[in-house]
Structure 1
Amino acid sequence: MTTPVETSHSRVHAIFARWTTFSYQYALWVLLAALLIAIVSGIYVSRNLGMNTDTAEMLSEDLPFRVNLKRYNESFPQDIDTLLIVLNAPTPEQVRVATENLAARLKQDSSNFYDVYSPRVDDFTARNGLLYQSIPELERITDSLAAAQPLITRISRDPSLAAFTDVLTSAVDELNKGRSIELRPVLKGVNATLEARLNGSPRALSWQTMFSGEAQKNTYQELIIIKPRLDFSQLFPAEQSIAALHAAAESVGITEDGPVRLRITGEVALAEEELNSSLRGMEYAGIITFVLVGVVLFFAMRNGGLILNVLVCLLMGLILTATFATAVVGHLNLISIAFAVLYIGLGADFAIHFLLRYREVLENNHSPAEAIHISGGDAGAALTACTVTNAIGFYAFMPTDYSGVAELGIISGTGMIISLLVTLVIGPALLRYLPKKTAAKPATKSSVGKVLEFSLKWHKATYAVTLVATVGALAILPQVRFDYNLLNMQDPKGGAVQTFRELLAEPDLSPWHIAVLANNPQETETLAKRLADLPEVNKVVTVLDFVPEQQEEKFSLIQEMALTIGPIAATPPPQTRITSDAILAEQYKALRELVVALERFVANHPEHPSAATVSALRSTLAHLFTQLDKVSNDEKSKLLYTIEDDLLAMLPLALQSLRTATEATVFDEGDLPVAFKDRWHSDTGGYRLAVYPVEDLNDNDALRRFVRSVQQVAPHAIGVPVISLEAGEAVVQAFVQAFSLALIGVVVILLVLLRSIKYTLLVLLPLLLSSLFTAAFTILLDVPFNFANIIALPLLLGLGIDSSLHMVYRSINNELVSEVLIHTSTARAIFYSALTALVDFASLIFSSHLGTASMGILLTVGLAFTLICTLIILPALLRAPAAGVKANA
């Protein structure tokens, strides 16, 4: 008696058998039409398909954090889509001048930059910077300047190496006589400068640090915040602006071999660098994949014609899917561009199943026309079922808030339908001409089937291992996590990433702070106090903090400082020097006298607090004389003049800066510069509060604690930490929602297609097991889910359903027991199609982009488990008594 399931199968089989036979009989017309469609589609795509690289558009505008972000951006538009320029130099004088010059040059280029702002280098800060110091600090600086005033006066009159050395000698002699002079900052600075020159890594002496009595640091840093003009129709929207930035830097003397180092970071630079490293990784992976896929297809098909058939079907499917994307969506985003990768992984599956079934029928001594009829019926029914389930899986992403993946879902879901049509229309037509030779029946079983026989022979062990693995995976499943840190996805060797991480280590410069909006000064003060009391908050900064306290007392000290300096002026050493034996002798004499004075002081005062510093300088000078004795007079003069520049070049800049700083005036909030005030008090009346964390936000738990704590006080808070957390949770929620919808849809479709709860469960079980094992391995491999690798889940869903559905469908359709099923073309097709996808994605592991690499790991592990669950566990579950069952295909 014929069952409803068998009747349904026979009808579907007949429809697809006639369909493929028609394509085979009218192959020439089918192929000509396909070629014409491909040409027209290719032209249409090349002229109309756009690229949207704006990551902000990938999540729904209705999400609360997107609403808060929009409000913040309207109040402070200069803070979005920015480049952060980091300048470093050996002295504060050099980095300040470089920052001033570069900022001025960039402000002239309105075609590439909307806004240019240097937070700590402007006329207001230069003039009023001392008012931000504490009173004890100002008193210390005043005392230090008073002690250095005689030295500064004498050097400013004659800024030469000989004069400077004479002044140091006199000062050391006075110290030797018992006078109380604090020379250690000066001597340490001179010694460090000489050592740097002799060691081949020269740096200038900072007189600004000497004036303040501080030790000179290895490097000084300033920032410039730039809002570039972005072109989102281009793959790299900021490419032109960044090129203009480098050209501007070179025009003001900031070069790779100069003392000032320029680095670029910020959200725009990070996005550009991430895209570049991701694409570069894809290029390398593509070369490796092309070779490996070719090898896999060779072992799968053993026929050049069949391999070419697969490639033509893939290419045609990609073109038609891209055409659909152009017509319906109009553009690709950084996520939906992955449709090509997904299509290769799943599209090859369609062609491989159909062609291997065709070859299997040929091997059973059928003619090509009969083989087309039989294989078209068998493969068509199974592929249609897979297409429906795959399309549902992808379409389930359409109603989610993750619009970037929603676009991927509609493109890839439709791509699966296109793949079915291409495989069953163009595939049979190509078989009319490729291959020409008829395959002979193989004498032995396939190697794949021989390996799979072990799982059936030891089926009890297979059940036991599966049970233990399932229990173990369930036990560690709660540890699955999502990494919200976007930096952890990028190439750690990238310049923008390294610079950004360095800034995170600076509490006052960290870009990872939360912004809170207040409506008036009173609310600003109240919120600042409440937020500052939170244990997760390190500090809160508002515009009110930029009006110093005790200004009158500080102003008196600054006036005293101005009197101490007096009308001192200094000129830099000349650009060209006159070299003569007399000048060289004068420099030698001055240096020798300094060495004698240093030796005399150490001999007379070995326990003096300055003795160690004096001894260090004496040793460095001895090294200098050793160097000078080895070279000619011309080289001696050149070396001494470079030392003169190292020691004295910054003096005029430091004096000018100091004179400007003594021109400070008492001010209030209304006197703050407009460019500065606009970043804290918007035109719409809102006030910005910057909230900085106590903990390192590279830790996801710390990130969550910080954000949630601040949100309890200020629900509308925004900023990178909030965006990272909320976007991550939106993505996770979107995938949970999509997979729930997909699972429900797939179950319904399977029940309709298979009309059996048992077989529906058998199709779903390998998918659920492989998903469970893959999730467990993300914990064991310490590869958490992130914004990049989570995109791999739709592909794993599609391949998981496809593979198990093919096995179950073939088992039902041909009434095969597992011992026979594992030796059919279906098992081989599952193995080789999964292996094709596996080598496609395994190459991604070696990408420098960590997000891409983690996607490669997730896909490789997931596909491996899909193969295991489908070809080892599922056949063991499908085992049935041989009696009364057909044992042939």
Structure 2
Amino acid sequence: MKILTGAGSHFFAHWTAFSYRQAIWIIILAFVAAVLSITYTVNNLGVQTDTTDMLSEDVPFRINHKRYKEAFPQYEDALLLVVDAPTPEQAHETAKQLTYYLQNDDAHFYEASYLSGDSFFEQNGLLYKNLSELENITDQLAAAQPLIARLAENPTLETFLSVLSEAVVEINSGRNLELETVFNGVSSTLDARLAGEPRALSWQILFNGERQTGLYQELILTRPKHDYAQLFAAEQSMNAVRETAMDMGLTHDSPVKLRITGEAALAFDELNSAMHGAQSAGILALVLVIVVLLVAVRSVGAIMTVMLTLILGLILTAAFATFAVGHLNLISIAFAVLYIGLGVDYAIHFLLRHEEIRKNGSPVIQALPMAGGDIGRALTICAVTTAIGFYAFIPTSYDGVAELGLISGSGMIISLLVTLTIVPALQRFFPIQPIKPLISVKPVHTVLEWPIHARKSIFILTICAALLSIFALPQIKFDYNLLNLNDPRAESVETFRELLENSDDSPWHIIALADNRDETVRLVQQLSGLQEVDKAVTLLDFVPKHQEEKIRLIEEMAMTLGPISFVPSSQKRVNIDEQRIVLVDLKRELSRFLDEQSAHQASQAAKNLHASVRNLLSRLNALSEGEARESLLFEVEYDLLHLLPVSLQRLQLALGASTFTLEDIPESVKMHWLSKQGIYRIAVYPADNISDNNALKMFVRAVQDVTPGATGVPVISLEAGKAVVDAFIHAFSLAIIGVVVALLVLLRCLKSTVLVLVPLILAALFTGAVTVLMGLPFNFANVIALPLILGIGIDCSVHMVHRSRNNGEAYENLLYTSTARAIYYSALTTMAGFGSLIFSQHQGTTSMGLLLLIGVVLTLVCVLIILPVLLHAANHKPST
């Protein structure tokens, strides 16, 4: 076994021997350094969870977004509260009450607004309907007026059913009454109660002549007070919303539900799912890594050496991050992942090389300096080149990645120093013993022997695979959709996707700003003409057209309805017999109508109501106790009538509408569309579903062609994705140049430098091609795996080339050395440690784990199969 001698080797040998001899003091100093580092880090390291701060403020789209935030701060990091209710009345009242509470919660919110509940829209809401809709409402009110008047005097179930019976008699006698909507509404309400899923009758829906279906939504926009020094910046404000909702009775079993989404909630759920996923994966990863280390070193002491070295290096790197940067962000926090993935390699290589040298019977005091002298140079080359690769991220405009590069690059130097110092010291207490390598196992031996006899086949397969990969590279995609990173089962994500399906009020719309009214009109005309745009909404759209004609129809409604006020309902006990009589009467009249008017347009609705009344009577007859019957009838009365006073009150308020101009719109509404600086806000909605990346890109680019200063989530997603891609292309270009220069300087051999780089390039090509084949796009999360794959590729190639070049190992022996075993086991620890991320609920983390698995496996193939063949070809001239 040839051990390289030279100044470098002597230096590392003396370093290792000194650490071994002074083990006690070194371990004490390491412990003190760890304690001081932990104390310093805990007291001084901050956390920034605002993702926009990860990009340079000089990026154009950030400048545009900053202008928008200054003009309309209420939309920055907002929470969007979605109230779902069986009726529009319940949704409206709940949203209005919740908004009132949140507006008075100064501790957690700057403001809260519910535009639909603003008094201006409550009074003038009818003016936003078209003329045909108003005419229909007028007809419905005319038909319902007698019923409403009777119920106002005596709001009981008997009155309601009696009036319905009289109405059935009227239409059976030939009178033209619009009762189909009423029949369907009452029937659905009765069926819901009998099915155990009670649903109130919406009189607002009846007045509009519509059918009551599904759930009705109202949206509340809140601007919470975030604390970005906390990991979960929106946690307190979200908890405040939920506590208020609970106080209002919005529980899981209540008919009205509250859901939270919006930018802040999505960020909260994304971070929450990522951390929970990492915790779950971490337990699995720890078990798998320990198993791999047991197989690799087969010694508890050696495992403790690896883990203690890794932990110390991680603590010192965190302290450096605290000193050099002062905070972590959602990107730079990945330094821990990168450090663990690469730092464990150094200790494994050192220990296995030491174990290999000890097989000749040398004592630790002799074998350890020999191992240090031999492996120290290789580890130094790995650390320097990997650090240069990370430092190449510093000049990018993506501050989050730049900070990651600084911390991770320095972490590699720290890992080198810790490995060369602590591992020899710990060998004083946990000396590794020679072990029988698993290479002696026949299946493993057979696999490693195959490339020896198939070098030409490997060359041909490699060239073909490389060419195919080059053709596949243009198909690599980047997923700009931030929703695809999150847990799809999270409430905020499900709710947000649901809102996206509604193009009328999609939360994913582009915001354009105009400096004056004329510019606003011009931009709206240009934007509305784009095929990618559904509509562009501004403050000017809040002045409805044809106001005079609409006011005449509204006045006609008011005359039709007349002055109606409800008499407070008495708390008398339900008269079961009287109500049964009116139910039987209604059933009889419906039967007569169906017999005599089977072709009437309301016959189907009457048939449904007849079945519902019959089922209600059957249920009453089936109940043996009087209290149960009384309770059922009381609940039916409540379902049918309790929303009528509220609906009528809102209608009467809306009947007081009057014409208005732009100047008459109140500040509570205007503030959302016209800033104090006189800047107009234009909301541009997409014509297509922009969850698709191509549709997103076309929509954003089309709008930007008209107004380059546009902003909003679609623009930020696309431009941030482009910035990330550009940053990584820039960084990797610099990294390759830096690594090449470093290898030439450190190896002082062009051939060796090329041999190190070829597996790296091949692994990159193959990884890109496999992502295309698997339909795995790059995204904001899994790009973090690329520096780790780059670092692993550099380290593995350097170790193989160094062992072949400096120790004179022949191809046939290279794969049987501790170097090949260390590469294999290091890769296994990385795959075990981070491959477990594929089980995370966070889709971005899952994709990162999958990409790491793909990249590391392909790197292993390139280094352990292709590179030895290349080394053999480089070291042997063809025979003549």
Pairwise same-fold verdict (TM > 0.5): yes
Identify the residue that residue 827 of structure 2 maps to in structure 1: 834
Match status 1:507 vs 2:503: yes
Residue 50 of structure 1 aligns with an amino acid whose one-letter code is: G
- C-alpha displacement of 1:251: 2.1
Residues 480 and 717 in structure 2, CA contact (< 8 A), matched pair in contact too? yes
User: Aligned match of 2:855 in 829, 850, 862?
Assistant: 862
Residues 521 and 687 in structure 1, CA contact (< 8 A), matched pair in contact too? yes
Identify the residue that residue 672 of structure 1 maps to in structure 2: 665
Identify the residue that residue 434 of structure 2 maps to in structure 1: 439
Q: SS of the residue aligned with 1:375?
A: helix
Match status 1:875 vs 2:863: no
5+ long unaligned stretches in structure 2: none
- C-alpha displacement of 1:438: 4.5
Identify the residue that residue 367 of structure 1 maps to in structure 2: 363
1:393-404 to structure 2, matched below 5 A, reads 393-404=389-400
Identify the residue that residue 559 of structure 1 maps to in structure 2: 555
User: Aligned match of 1:49 in 40, 45, 48?
Assistant: 45
Q: Distance in 2 between matches of 1:600 and 1:511?
A: 51
Q: Distance in 2 between matches of 1:571 and 1:478?
A: 74
User: Aligned match of 1:386 in 370, 382, 388?
Assistant: 382
Match status 1:587 vs 2:579: yes
Residues 571 and 652 in structure 1, CA contact (< 8 A), matched pair in contact too? no
Match status 1:793 vs 2:786: yes
Q: SS of the residue aligned with 1:203?
A: coil
Identify the residue that residue 99 of structure 1 maps to in structure 2: 95
Residue 712 of structure 2 aligns with an amino acid whose one-letter code is: G
1:678-757 to structure 2, matched below 5 A, reads 678-757=671-750
Check 1:320–1:450 CA distance in 2 against 1; reply closer, same or farther (3 A cut).
farther
Residues 52 and 333 in structure 1, CA contact (< 8 A), matched pair in contact too? yes
User: Aligned match of 2:74 in 75, 78, 82?
Assistant: 78
Q: Distance in 2 between matches of 1:651 and 1:444?
A: 83
User: Aligned match of 2:220 in 211, 219, 224?
Assistant: 224
Residue 28 of structure 1 aligns with an amino acid whose one-letter code is: I
Match status 1:610 vs 2:597: no
- C-alpha displacement of 1:253: 2.7
Residue 213 of structure 2 aligns with an amino acid whose one-letter code is: K
- C-alpha displacement of 1:119: 2.0
- C-alpha displacement of 1:308: 0.7
Match status 1:14 vs 2:6: no
Q: Distance in 1 between matches of 2:437 and 2:119?
A: 86
Identify the residue that residue 195 of structure 2 maps to in structure 1: 199
Residues 9 and 813 in structure 1, CA contact (< 8 A), matched pair in contact too? no
Identify the residue that residue 529 of structure 1 maps to in structure 2: 525
Q: SS of the residue aligned with 2:872?
A: coil
- C-alpha displacement of 1:364: 2.0
- C-alpha displacement of 1:439: 2.8
Q: Distance in 1 between matches of 2:308 and 2:863?
A: 28
Match status 1:146 vs 2:142: yes
User: Aligned match of 1:578 in 556, 573, 578?
Assistant: 573
Match status 1:825 vs 2:789: no
Q: Distance in 1 between matches of 2:857 and 2:457?
A: 19
Check 1:816–1:880 CA distance in 2 against 1; reply closer, same or farther (3 A cut).
farther
Identify the residue that residue 264 of structure 2 maps to in structure 1: 268
Residue 594 of structure 1 aligns with an amino acid whose one-letter code is: L
- C-alpha displacement of 1:740: 0.1
Residues 572 and 649 in structure 1, CA contact (< 8 A), matched pair in contact too? no
Check 1:365–1:644 CA distance in 2 against 1; reply closer, same or farther (3 A cut).
same
Q: Distance in 1 between matches of 2:682 and 2:539?
A: 8
Q: Give a deviation string over 1:750-778, Cα, whole Å, max 9, x none.
A: 11112222111110111111111111111
Q: Bigger shift: 206-215 or 287-296?
A: 206-215
TM-score of the two chains, using structure 2 as the length reference: 0.97
Identify the residue that residue 623 of structure 1 maps to in structure 2: 615
Residues 491 and 497 in structure 1, CA contact (< 8 A), matched pair in contact too? yes
Identify the residue that residue 34 of structure 2 maps to in structure 1: 38
Match status 1:64 vs 2:60: yes
Q: Distance in 2 between matches of 1:589 and 1:498?
A: 48
Q: SS of the residue aligned with 1:120?
A: helix
Check 1:49–1:882 CA distance in 2 against 1; reply closer, same or farther (3 A cut).
closer
- C-alpha displacement of 1:457: 2.1
- C-alpha displacement of 1:10: 2.1
Q: SS of the residue aligned with 2:682?
A: strand
Q: Bigger shift: 400-409 or 621-630?
A: 621-630
Check 1:607–1:837 CA distance in 2 against 1; reply closer, same or farther (3 A cut).
same
Residues 156 and 568 in structure 1, CA contact (< 8 A), matched pair in contact too? yes
Q: Distance in 1 between matches of 2:220 and 2:207?
A: 26
Residues 817 and 880 in structure 1, CA contact (< 8 A), matched pair in contact too? no
User: Aligned match of 1:237 in 233, 248, 265?
Assistant: 233
Q: Distance in 2 between matches of 1:57 and 1:882?
A: 51
- C-alpha displacement of 1:361: 0.5
Q: SS of the residue aligned with 2:58?
A: coil
Check 1:571–1:270 CA distance in 2 against 1; reply closer, same or farther (3 A cut).
farther
Q: Distance in 2 between matches of 1:196 and 1:443?
A: 69
Q: Distance in 1 between matches of 2:584 and 2:666?
A: 52
Residue 95 of structure 1 aligns with an amino acid whose one-letter code is: A
Identify the residue that residue 122 of structure 2 maps to in structure 1: 126
Q: Give a deviation string over 1:13-44, Cα, whole Å, max 9, x none.
A: 11111111111111111111111111111111
Residues 474 and 772 in structure 1, CA contact (< 8 A), matched pair in contact too? yes
Q: Distance in 2 between matches of 1:812 and 1:301?
A: 25
Residue 659 of structure 1 aligns with an amino acid whose one-letter code is: Q
Match status 1:813 vs 2:830: no
- C-alpha displacement of 1:441: 7.2
Identify the residue that residue 246 of structure 1 maps to in structure 2: 242
Identify the residue that residue 767 of structure 1 maps to in structure 2: 760
Q: SS of the residue aligned with 1:223?
A: strand
- C-alpha displacement of 1:442: 6.9
Q: SS of the residue aligned with 1:352?
A: helix
Residue 777 of structure 1 aligns with an amino acid whose one-letter code is: V
TM-score of the two chains, using structure 1 as the length reference: 0.97
Identify the residue that residue 635 of structure 2 maps to in structure 1: 642
Q: SS of the residue aligned with 1:508?
A: helix
Q: Distance in 1 between matches of 2:178 and 2:374?
A: 95
Residues 754 and 760 in structure 1, CA contact (< 8 A), matched pair in contact too? yes
**Root-mean-square deviation (CA), in Å?**
1.6
Residues 83 and 264 in structure 1, CA contact (< 8 A), matched pair in contact too? yes
Identify the residue that residue 491 of structure 1 maps to in structure 2: 487
Q: Distance in 1 between matches of 2:674 and 2:340?
A: 52
Q: Distance in 2 between matches of 1:84 and 1:870?
A: 51
Residues 453 and 822 in structure 1, CA contact (< 8 A), matched pair in contact too? no
Q: Distance in 1 between matches of 2:327 and 2:255?
A: 45
Residue 246 of structure 2 aligns with an amino acid whose one-letter code is: E
Identify the residue that residue 274 of structure 2 maps to in structure 1: 278
Residues 86 and 214 in structure 2, CA contact (< 8 A), matched pair in contact too? yes
- C-alpha displacement of 1:474: 1.5
Q: Distance in 1 between matches of 2:797 and 2:408?
A: 20
- C-alpha displacement of 1:451: 3.0
Q: Distance in 2 between matches of 1:68 and 1:850?
A: 30
Q: Give a deviation string over 1:354-398, Cα, whole Å, max 9, x none.
A: 010000001122121111111001110000000001100110000
Q: Distance in 2 between matches of 1:643 and 1:682?
A: 49
Residues 98 and 254 in structure 1, CA contact (< 8 A), matched pair in contact too? no
Check 1:882–1:105 CA distance in 2 against 1; reply closer, same or farther (3 A cut).
closer
Residue 622 of structure 1 aligns with an amino acid whose one-letter code is: R
Residues 439 and 445 in structure 2, CA contact (< 8 A), matched pair in contact too? no
Q: SS of the residue aligned with 1:364?
A: coil
- C-alpha displacement of 1:617: 1.0
Residue 679 of structure 2 aligns with an amino acid whose one-letter code is: G
Match status 1:318 vs 2:323: no
Q: Give a deviation string over 1:694-734, Cα, whole Å, max 9, x none.
A: 11101111111111111111011111111011000000000
Q: Give a deviation string over 1:487-528, Cα, whole Å, max 9, x none.
A: 011111111000001111111210111111111111100110
Q: SS of the residue aligned with 1:114?
A: strand
Aligned residues: 874
Q: SS of the residue aligned with 2:658?
A: coil
Residues 3 and 374 in structure 2, CA contact (< 8 A), matched pair in contact too? no
Check 1:146–1:295 CA distance in 2 against 1; reply closer, same or farther (3 A cut).
same
- C-alpha displacement of 1:77: 0.9
